[in-house]
Structure formats: structure tokens, C-alpha cells
């Protein structure tokens, strides 16, 4: 909080001194003559919040309330066009929170959005950008009882309605009215009331905020893994060495599965080994990937579970060819709209293969995910391979586009 106050002071548009200079009354002189309190002065418009802050007599909340603060935030304008702009600090409406962002993490979805300029379901420009964050509450709107100023929280990127057909069946990830929140690449972010109510969690004291910010992507991974109905000891192939593929394989290894990581790049192969993969297949050839993966299973029979975490049709088809009779395939990576794949119906039918495709997360899984991070079993630190200031965001995305060994970069405002 002192850091924020300092910023406010730096940006203050008028000080007590200048007010005095212009012959107007100030809180100072009013107080000096015992004629008023700061509150009085504020009430009568004789002082500014800045001057009060300058003298340490008001809080950041007051400044936010009076709309006097501005902040730096990333605004998405279109394809590969993200600008760091000065925008007002949001105010909390009833039920909402304002969170000072401690860390916001880059994510494959954001990279996709950066490339395409939009995401039909999640973000339409111009809009504040970024969705994986943890931070500190600086303002709680009317009626918020679970959180207060100073609480360290992770606020998820979405929340289900809790009332529709899907929510009532416990399939909240498919909610007809899932709301999304963006704006993590900023100094402050507004958390809509539904997310405050359903998907904002207190971060345990011993968990760094940048680790807590992994709750959202990890929830997707845990959901996808559990949805594949694994058993300890199962041989599981994970196709794809991106952040989610690596998370998925780490989760599977922690669960006691024998993991085969199928990746393309050396950096991914190394990360996969560090995170618990028993075997790594590193190749760009689909046929070789299928053959080599099967070779790690008894009699080349195929894996118990194959999880596709790339989001391209070739990898979807590859996953089907890797799995054993009676096994499960999870198409976890989302392909571009309109993509079609070719699958041998005989193979699916006569080999009794289960096909699943898991999307997003539920409030229950999000809690599980934060617990896993807090347990210390999950190597959160291994997933954050870089740190950068908000104004370096464009450079960070350009770097991520040119494939390298970075997993996630923590953007610190
Ligand atoms: Zn994400
Ligand atoms: Zn719903």
C-alpha cells in the first residue's frame, strides 16, 4: 500500500502548497485554526483528496472513490496492437472488488488473442487485456462481506451463473451465461460481483502471488486430467509441450501416472523431464510420435490415456492412434473455428475407445487447483520462467510468438 500512496502523491494534481498560493483555504490552514477537520474540508470541497493523501490523512480508497486515480493498463485494440495507456482506476460497484495486481501471467490464450486481435467468447476490442492474476484488495464494494482491503486474493477469469441447466448439473464450465473478466495487465483490476461471489479465493500467506496466479490455467489442466478418468499407474501420453501440456503432465505425474511427453523442442523436452515425465518423445513427425509412444507401452499396445494439448487437427488424429483398446482420448486443445478432423470409425468402435474433450473449469476445480499450489507438491516456480514490467508487454508477446523456452512470464505492474 505505501507504494500506491507514493504513486498517488507523485501524480497529485494539486498540493496544499499550491492551494495556499492561490489564496484558497486548505485542510492544513483549516486544521491549524481549529476550524475544521479533513472530513469537513473534503465535504466542503476546500481540499483535494491528493492533498489529504499528501498529508496521510486519507486512504487510497477515498482517492478511488473520488475518481482521482489513473493507472497504466494494457488495452487491446486489434491484431498485434496492444497499447499501454493511462486509464482511470476502476471503482467498485456494489458487490465488486478492486484488486491491485501483484502479478499477471502470460498465457497461450492471450497469445492467440494478440495474434488474432479478438476472442469471440472472451474479449472484443478495444478492451483491457490479460486474465491470469493475483493481487491485493484495495476496495470492497457495498455488500461484500467475504473480502476486505488488504486481503491477498486470486480472482478467476470467469464465473458461471449457477442457475442454468448446465450449472444445476454441475457442468458449470458449460454455463449458458459464463461471464469473463479481462484486464489483468494493469495496476488495478475490477472484479465483477459474480466472480467475487463464486470464483475469488484467499491466497494463503506462504504462497507468492505469482504462484497463486497459476490457479486458472492449472484448473483447466486438473479438469482435463480428471475428466480423462485416470488411475494411478496408468500410462498417459500428453501431446504438446506448451504451458498447459507441461502442467497437465506434471499433474499426471503427481497423481502417480507414468507419463510420456510428446514434444517438438529441446527446451520443452527438458522441462517435461524436470516436471516428472517418465519418457520423452521429441519429434515433429506424427508417424514417429505414434510409433515411439507405443514403443514405451507393453507389446506396443498403446497408452491408457492420450491427451491432446496442442489444438491442431494433426495432433487430434495422432492422439487417437496412440491409445490402446479400451483407452481414453481427451481432445484438450481447442482448434480454430471450423476445423475438421478425420477419424477411423472402425478404430473407435471395435477398439472401444472413449473420446472426450474438456473445456475450461468449474469453481470446485479452481479451489482444488489453488490447494494443489499451496500444498507445495506442485512446482509452481518452474512454470514462471520470466518477469517483465507492464510496459514491456509487447516485447514479451513478440518473444512468445517466436517460440522459445519460456513457459510463462509474470507481468508486474
Ligand atoms: Zn489463461
Ligand atoms: Zn449457468
Q: What is the pLDDT along the chain (413 residues), one digit of tens a residue?
A: 444 444 544 444 444 444 434 444 444 554 455 444 545 545 555 455 556 556 665 566 666 666 668 899 999 999 989 999 999 999 999 999 999 999 999 998 899 889 888 787 778 889 999 999 999 999 999 999 999 999 999 999 999 999 999 999 999 999 999 999 999 999 999 999 999 999 999 999 999 999 999 999 999 999 999 999 999 999 999 999 999 999 999 999 999 999 999 999 999 999 999 999 999 999 999 999 999 999 999 999 999 999 999 999 999 999 999 999 999 999 999 988 899 999 999 999 999 999 999 999 999 999 999 999 999 999 999 999 999 999 999 999 988 888 777 899 999 99
Distance in Å from the first CA to the final CA of the chain: 14
- Tell me the ligand closest to 173's alpha carbon: 2
Pinpoint the alpha helices (H) of 124-203.
165-168, 193-198
CA of 223 to the centre of ligand 2 (A): 18
How many angstroms does the Cα of residue 169 sit away from the middle of ligand 2? 9
Which three three-digit cell numbers place residue 42?
473534503
Cα 25 to ligand 1 centre (Å)? 51
249: closest CA among 231, 274, 227, 229? 274
- b/e map of 263-287 (b: 16 or more CB within 10 Å)? bbeebbbebbeebbbbbbbbeeeee
Q: Does domain 71-216+362-412 have CATH number 3.90.180.10?
A: yes
Rounded Cα–Cα distance for residues 182 and 122 (Å): 8
Ligand index nearest the alpha carbon of residue 383 = 1
Which ligand lies nearest the alpha carbon of 163?
2
Within 8 A by CB and 6+ apart from 144, the residues are 92, 95, 96, 97, 196
- In angstroms, the CA 260 to CA 294 distance is 10
Helix (H) or strand (E) holding 267: helix 266-274
Taking the centre of ligand 2 as the mean of its atom positions, its distance from the CA of residue 179, in whole angstroms, is 10
Taking residue 401's Cβ as centre, other Cβ atoms within 10 Å add up to: 12
176: how many CB neighbours lie within 10 A of its CB? 11
The C-alpha angle 237, 297, 358, rounded to 5 degrees, equals 25
CATH number of the structural domain 229-356: 3.40.50.720
Which ligand neighbours the alpha carbon of 194 most closely?
2
Domain boundaries, the chain: 2-65, 71-216+362-412, 229-356
CA of 324 relative to ligand 1 center, distance in Å: 31
Distance from the alpha carbon of residue 331 to the mean position of ligand 2, in angstroms: 23
Query: H/E element holding 239?
Result: strand 235-239
Residue 16 pLDDT:
40
Q: What pLDDT shows up at residue 85?
A: 95
Which pLDDT score, from 0 to 100, does residue 123 have? 82
Per-residue pLDDT, 54 = 62
Question: How far away, in angstroms, is 159 Cα from ligand 1 center?
Answer: 14
User: Which ligand number lies closest to the CA of residue 219?
Assistant: 1
Q: Which ligand is nearest to the CA of 168?
A: 2
Question: What integer pLDDT is reported at residue 256 of this predicted model?
Answer: 98
Cβ atoms of 289 and 283 closer than 8 Å? yes
Which ranges of 177-265 would DSSP assign to H, the alpha helix? 193-198, 209-212, 215-227, 243-254
Q: How many contiguous H segments (helices) and E segments (strands) does the chain have?
A: 18, 18
Q: Tell me what pLDDT residue 121 has.
A: 75
Place of cell 507438491: 377
Pairwise CA distance, residues 63 & 59, whole Å: 7
- 161 CA to centre of ligand 2 in angstroms: 4
Contact (CB, 8 A) for 309 and 338: no
Q: Ligand nearest 167 Cα, by number?
A: 2
d(CA 121, ligand 1 centre) in Å: 13
Q: How far is the CA of 309 from the centre of ligand 1 (A)?
A: 14
Given this chain, do its domains 71-216+362-412 and 229-356 carry the same CATH topology?
Answer: no
The reported pLDDT for the residue numbered 199 is 98
Ligand nearest to the CA of 180: 1
Q: How far away, in angstroms, is 177 Cα from ligand 2 center?
A: 5
Residue 224 Cα to ligand 1 midpoint, Å, equals 14
What's the pLDDT at 13?
Answer: 40
Q: What residue ranges in 64-199 does DSSP mark as E strands?
A: 70-78, 81-88, 97-105, 127-128, 132-140, 152-155, 158-159, 179-180, 188-191
Give the Å distance between the CA of 282 and the centre of ligand 1.
25
Q: Three-state DSSP class for 73?
A: strand
Residues 302-312 as b or e (16 or more Cβ within 10 Å = b): bbbbbbbbbbb
* CB-based burial, 49-80: b 16+ in 10 Å, e otherwise: bbbbbbbebbbbebbbeeebbebbbbbbeeee
| Ligand showing the shortest atom-to-Cα distance for residue 157 | 1
> What is the DSSP code (8-state) at residue 54?
H
Question: From the CA of 62, how far away is ligand 1's center (Å)?
Answer: 33
Q: Per-residue DSSP letters for 338-395?
A: T------HHHHHHTT-EEE---S--HHHHHHHHHHHHHS-S-GGGGEEEEEEGGGHHH
Amino acid at each position: 500500500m505505501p507504494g500506491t500512496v507514493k504513486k498517488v502523491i507523485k501524480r497529485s494534481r494539486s498540493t496544499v502548497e499550491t492551494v495556499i498560493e492561490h489564496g484558497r483555504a486548505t485542510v492544513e490552514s483549516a486544521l491549524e485554526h481549529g476550524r475544521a477537520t479533513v472530513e469537513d474540508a473534503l465535504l466542503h470541497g476546500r481540499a483535494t483528496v491528493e492533498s489529504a493523501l499528501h498529508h496521510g490523512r486519507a486512504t487510497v480508497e477515498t482517492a478511488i472513490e473520488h475518481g482521482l486515480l489513473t493507472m497504466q493498463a494494457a488495452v487491446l485494440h486489434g491484431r498485434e496492437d496492444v497499447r499501454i495507456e493511462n486509464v482511470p482506476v476502476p471503482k467498485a460497484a456494489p458487490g465488486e472488488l478492486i484488486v491491485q495486481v501483484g502479478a499477471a501471467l502470460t498465457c497461450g490464450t492471450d497469445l492467440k488473442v494478440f495474434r488474432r486481435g479478438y476472442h469471440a467468447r472472451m474479449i472484443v476490442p478495444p478492451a483491457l487485456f490479460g486474465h491470469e492474476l493475483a493481487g491485493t484488495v484495495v476496495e470492497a464494494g457495498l455488500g461484500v462481506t467475504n473480502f476486505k482491503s488488504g486481503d491477498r486474493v486470486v480472482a478467476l477469469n470467469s464465473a458461471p451463473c449457477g442457475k442454468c441447466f448446465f450449472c444445476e448439473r454441475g457442468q458449470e464450465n458449460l454455463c449458458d451465461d459464463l461471464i469473463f473478466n479481462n484486464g489483468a495487465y494493469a495496476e488495478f483490476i475490477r472484479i465483477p460481483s459474480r466472480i467475487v461471489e463464486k470464483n475469488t479465493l484467499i491466497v494463503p500467506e506462504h504462497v507468492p502471488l505469482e504462484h497463486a496466479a497459476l490457479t486458472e490455467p492449472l484448473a483447466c489442466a486438473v479438469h482435463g486430467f480428471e475428466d480423462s478418468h485416470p488411475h494411478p499407474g496408468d500410462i498417459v501420453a500428453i501431446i504438446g509441450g506448451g504451458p498447459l501440456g507441461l502442467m497437465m503432465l506434471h499433474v499426471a505425474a503427481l497423481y502417480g501416472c507414468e507419463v510420456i511427453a510428446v514434444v517438438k523442442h529441446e527446451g520443452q523436452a527438458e522441462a517435461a523431464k524436470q516436471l516428472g515425465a517418465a519418457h520423452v518423445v521429441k519429434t515433429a513427425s506424427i508417424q514417429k510420435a505414434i510409433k515411439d509412444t507405443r514403443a514405451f507401452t507393453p507389446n506396443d499396445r498403446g497408452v491408457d490415456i492420450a491427451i491432446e494439448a496442442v489444438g491442431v487437427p494433426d495432433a487430434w488424429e495422432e492422439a487417437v492412434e496412440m491409445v490402446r483398446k479400451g483407452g481414453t482420448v481427451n481432445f484438450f486443445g481447442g482448434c480454430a473455428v471450423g476445423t475438421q478432423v478425420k477419424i477411423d470409425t472402425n478404430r473407435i468402435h471395435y477398439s472401444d475407445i472413449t473420446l472426450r474433450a474438456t473445456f475450461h473449469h468449474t469453481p470446485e476445480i479452481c479451489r482444488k487447483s489453488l490447494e494443489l499450489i499451496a500444498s507445495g507438491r506442485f512446482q509452481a516456480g518452474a512454470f514462471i520462467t520470466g518477469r517483465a514490467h507492464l510496459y514491456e508487454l509487447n516485447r514479451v508477446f513478440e518473444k512468445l510468438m517466436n517460440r522459445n523456452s519460456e513457459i510463462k512470464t509474470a507481468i508486474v505492474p
